[in-house]
Amino acid sequence: MTDTIAVTFNLRPPERAVIADAIGTAARPVYLTDLDDAGRAQALLDATAILARDTGKDLRPNEARHIQSARLIQFITAGIDFVPLNALPAGIPVASNGGAYAEPMAEHGLAMVLAAAKRLLIEHAALARGEFNQLTRNRTLAGKVCGILGFGGIGVATARLMRALGMRIHAINRRGRSDEPTDWIGCVADLDTLLAASDVLIISTPLTPATENLIRARELGLMKPDAILVNLARGEIIQEAALFAHLQAHPAFFACIDAWWVEPLRHGAFRIEHPFLSLPNVIGSPHNSASVPGVTAAALRRAVTNIHRVLAGEAPHYVLGPEERMS
């Protein structure tokens, strides 16, 4: 019997062509959106793998129970904390699309760090007021420490850019080791050490029960008073009130926020409880670090490549642990 991939969401012909090219003859994609109720149920029953965007929305009530013989449920997004994973069959591995948008997100993080270090927005506003602060010092990054909390695809891509600037790379991941060169690497138990050393801190770790509110007042207090914090992951990793208070108390400390606490795609609205955007030491963007041309095709290829590993009898990457499937 030919292996099949049940694709739970609708894709346009060019995107379907990407999947067909990426999977080749190893399997046959079947699109649930093309099928009636009976066909959808049968496709899920027969599927060797599931390719999903958000099973909470892609699947109809009680359809998840038809997923019985799949060897992997693969999502196309790197962050899947918004998906009701506890509704999926417990015995089937679930993988996020780690690193799916790594390169554009790394570029975005670098842009935010440079804007903060060079005071670009502050001095632009000063010029608009007629102030010419030529002798006001900005910062250089060469020789400083870039700390990366979450050394997966995004973290590694960011490290490569920061290293090109002459920064030293300190990182944390679950294993406490990596094939990617670092000047220091630890695990989550070493978070205090990372925070104290970092001139720039990049947050690129997934949101899980273990990382929610991981950065609070205590952790912020361990950081250098002029550190630059960049959140490319999820707002909920940082305690909102604690960050706002820290920014007010430490005007040389910068927060570059791409990931917010309440966002339209995940929550249906954009809302902040504190006026971050009124602070001169905040640079914000609307979680658009991955919004570049061609990003969907790249994400699809990466997701299908992970499915390909399973079809070839290899272990897939970015499989969620039990603690990450509690949503």
Whether the per-residue pLDDT at 119 is higher than 60: the answer is: yes
Contact yes or no for 207/237 (Cβ under 8 A): yes
Span 98-120, average pLDDT: 95
Cα separations (Å) of 277 from 28, 113, 221, 257, 274?
A: 48, 17, 21, 10, 9
d(CA 193, CA 197): 6
pLDDT (0 to 100) of residue 100: 86
pLDDT (0 to 100) of residue 171: 98
Residue found under tokens 């670092």: 182
Residue found under tokens 């707002």: 235
Task: State the pTM of this model.
Answer: 0.90
Helix then strand then coil, % of the chain, to nearest 5: 40, 15, 45
For 81-95, the pLDDT digits (tens) are: 889 998 999 889 999
d(CA 200, CA 228): 5
Cα separations (Å) of 88 from 64, 70, 103, 207?
A: 6, 11, 30, 19
pLDDT (0 to 100) of residue 99: 84
Domain ranges of the chain: 4-99+294-325, 102-284
State how beta strands 4-7 and 28-31 pair.
parallel
Q: What is the mean pLDDT of the chain?
A: 95
pLDDT (0 to 100) of residue 326: 58
pLDDT (0 to 100) of residue 239: 98
Give the class (CATH, top level) of 4-99+294-325: alpha beta
Span 269-298, average pLDDT: 96
For 8-56, the pLDDT digits (tens) are: 999 999 999 999 999 999 999 999 999 999 999 999 999 999 999 999 9
Percent of the chain with pLDDT over 90: 89
Closest to 162 in 3D by CA, of 109, 124, 117, 123: 109
Percent of the chain with pLDDT over 70: 99
Whether the per-residue pLDDT at 109 is higher than 70: the answer is: yes
Reported as a pLDDT band with limits 50, 70 and 90, residue 325 is low
Contact yes or no for 178/153 (Cβ under 8 A): no
Same fold, 4-99+294-325 and 102-284: yes
Closest to 171 in 3D by CA, of 187, 153, 192, 154: 187
For 224-267, the pLDDT digits (tens) are: 999 999 999 999 999 999 999 999 999 999 999 999 999 998 89
Whether the per-residue pLDDT at 1 is higher than 70: the answer is: no
pLDDT (0 to 100) of residue 182: 97
For 205-228, the pLDDT digits (tens) are: 999 888 999 999 999 999 999 999
Q: Which residues contact 323 (CB under 8 A, 6 or more apart)?
A: 208, 209, 210
Neighbours of 289 (CB within 10 A): 21
pLDDT (0 to 100) of residue 186: 97
Give the bridge partners for 75, in sequence order: 52
**Three-class DSSP category at 243:** helix
pLDDT (0 to 100) of residue 237: 98
For 165-184, the pLDDT digits (tens) are: 999 999 999 889 999 999 99
Neighbours of 140 (CB within 10 A): 11
Closest to 97 in 3D by CA, of 289, 299, 314: 299
Closest to 51 in 3D by CA, of 21, 26, 30: 30
Task: Kindly report the CATH number that applies to the domain delimited by 102-284.
Answer: 3.40.50.720
Contact yes or no for 151/172 (Cβ under 8 A): yes
Whether the per-residue pLDDT at 327 is higher than 60: the answer is: no
